[in-house]
């Protein structure tokens, strides 16, 4: 089964409970095997700054679902958590992004893998380093640890 990493974030409501809800729903899905969950991390917003702090984490799963079916499952979990899409990068009860799907590289209108901004986001790279520091990220196959070091050197 493909090895997949998902980014989870929340900055509305009971933020930790929202992430716990998502982890529980992932664990319950028959097509998903939850492997590990990184420690939760409180972070400042990125992009749209007029909002509260986020709690973020990354989870590793194995799945029999193709990327589009997985995306549909993730969006359903977001909706169950009360997610309403209004402002890009704005406040949200729950956000779940596909960061990596094995060594796939795809750039489609509704889905880009690897996630196009993950290399620019410490709130993704830090928890990813906790659970998969040596995972290569296509297409250049730098490891998560190398990407985090590059990010820090560029700041």
The catalytic site residues sit at 83, 92, 95, 97
Task: Find, among 94, 128, 110, the residue nearest to 25 by Cα.
Answer: 94
Tokens of 92: 């949200």
Which residue carries 């089964």 as its tokens? 1
Whether residue 149 is preceded by a cis peptide bond, meaning omega within 30 degrees of 0, is no
Are 54 and 15 in contact, with CB atoms under 8 Å apart?
yes
| CA atoms of 82 and 64, how far apart (whole Å) | 26
């Amino acid at each position: 089964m493909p090895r997949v990493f998902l980014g989870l974030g929340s900055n509305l409501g009971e933020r930790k409970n929202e992430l716990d809800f998502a982890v529980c729903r992932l664990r319950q899905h028959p097509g998903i095997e939850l492997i590990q969950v990184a420690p939760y991390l409180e972070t400042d917003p990125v992009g749209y700054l007029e909002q509260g702090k986020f709690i973020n984490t990354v989870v590793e799963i194995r799945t029999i679902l193709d990327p589009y079916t997985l995306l549909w499952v993730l969006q359903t979990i977001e909706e169950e958590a009360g997610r309403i899409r209004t402002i890009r990068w704005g406040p949200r009860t729950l956000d779940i992004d596909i960061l990596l799907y094995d060594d796939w590289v795809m750039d489609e209108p509704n889905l880009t893998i690897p996630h196009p901004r993950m290399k620019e986001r410490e709130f993704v790279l830090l928890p990813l380093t906790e659970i998969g520091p040596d995972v290569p990220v296509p297409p250049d196959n730098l490891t998560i640890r190398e990407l985090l070091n590059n990010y820090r050197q560029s700041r």
